Structure 1
Amino acid sequence: MDWQNYLELSADSIEDLRSVGYLYVKQGCFDIALDFFNALLILNPGNGYDESIIGALYLEKGKYLEALEHLDEVLKIDPNNYLVLLNKAKTLFSLGYRTEAIAITKMISNCPDKKLSSQASALMEAYL
């Protein structure tokens, strides 16, 4: 069912909900933020940004399997999303999948975004 049209929500209304959810993330209110972003996925399924935020929130809360599920959904759409790949590597390290996590961090350490590449290198060094 297309809930966004059924509820007659405009794109601006969806963006407003996303902004409120993000404000809760910035305040560290991760459970409330998760509620917002999960609702956004119901209203606007397949949104990579919302999936990535949910994955990052689950990672932050230590719910690694849930994080991995959402991060993998984003990577199906955008396999070169370096930030999501970095979060996936963190998740895999936390789950004990060192080999796969190291492979991902090596790949990210060569990405053009210097901030992400240095974070990936530091993460890899921490686990070697």
Structure 2
Amino acid sequence: MASDPKIHSFEEVEKHNQTKDCWLIISGKVYDVTPFMDDHPGGYEVFLSASGKDATNDFEDVGHSDSAREMMDKYYIGEIDSSTFPLKHVYIPAQQAPYNPNKSPESVIKILLLLVPILILGLALAVRHFTKKD
């Protein structure tokens, strides 16, 4: 790490939120992760979703290894000026897979509620057919 770190404003860091230019704030430090975008095991989307905000919680929630933490040193570019943070922090969670209504629990229940009576009726007709005396 640099001995005399550069101080970056939140507004400056916030502008670096593209695949070819991505900065993150983690524990008050600013990192330019652009060179690591294609190599990150979680994909470049993880970095993009963490840019433009304080990504400390996102980083810590994943449980990075010691070697991953050591690797951060080569991407360190300075400190964040905490006085430039917006007054109200809005938590933006890491991006999730798109919502698929066909896989929601409510959809499964609706389908079962439609199928169960049909299955019962079919079972009743089958029992009646096979137990009918000629």
TM-score range relative to shorter protein: under 0.3
Structure with the greater alpha carbon radius of gyration: 2
State the TM-score, normalizing by the size of structure 1. 0.26
- Give 1 or 2: higher strand fraction: 2
